[in-house]
Structure 1
Amino acid sequence: MRTLDIIALILVVIGALNWGLIGFFRYDLIASLFGTMSSFTRVIYALVGLGGLYALSFFGKETDSRNTKEV
């Protein structure tokens, strides 16, 4: 995997864990660590969002790799 893919995957996992904590326990880990909507918290949320958008490209990569194996 490329480095950017690994970083995006880590960010997506962080976001998923945080949303799971919010959904199950009403506990926002990022906000509790860095403050509710502080500048740093907003940067973390933005990076997680960008990582999620980049991770959407993984679907295209999986399809491309399947098509090249069949040929």
Structure 2
Amino acid sequence: MYKLNVLDKLSFIFIIIGAINWGLIGLFNLNIVGLVFSEPVNLIGRIVYILIGISGIDMVLFLFKMRKSFKE
């Protein structure tokens, strides 16, 4: 079985933050990242969005790793 490393754990956290943020944008037109880091999104807010995007890519790679470990 594949063991989670620190990057995978952080990616899960950022994916959850991103999913909640998108859900709130869709339901209430409320951007939590924009509220926390000021609107319009400044440099720190953009870094958060970039980290969420990188986390999404890491989770795709994680799925491939998990698939490979199940075959073994």
Consecutive unaligned residues of structure 1, counting only runs of 5 or more, are none
Consecutive unaligned residues of structure 2, counting only runs of 5 or more, are none
Deviation at 1:62, TM superposition (A): 1.8
Q: TM-score, normalised by structure 1?
A: 0.89
Q: TM-score, normalised by structure 2?
A: 0.88
* Segment drifting more, 53-62 vs 20-29: 53-62
Moved over 6 A (4+): none
Q: Which has the higher helix share?
A: 1
Name the % identity: 32
RMSD of Structure 2 on Structure 1 (CA):
0.9
Q: Which has the higher contact order (CA 8 A, sep 6+)?
A: 2
Question: Size of the alignment, in residue pairs?
Answer: 68
Structure with the greater alpha carbon radius of gyration = 1
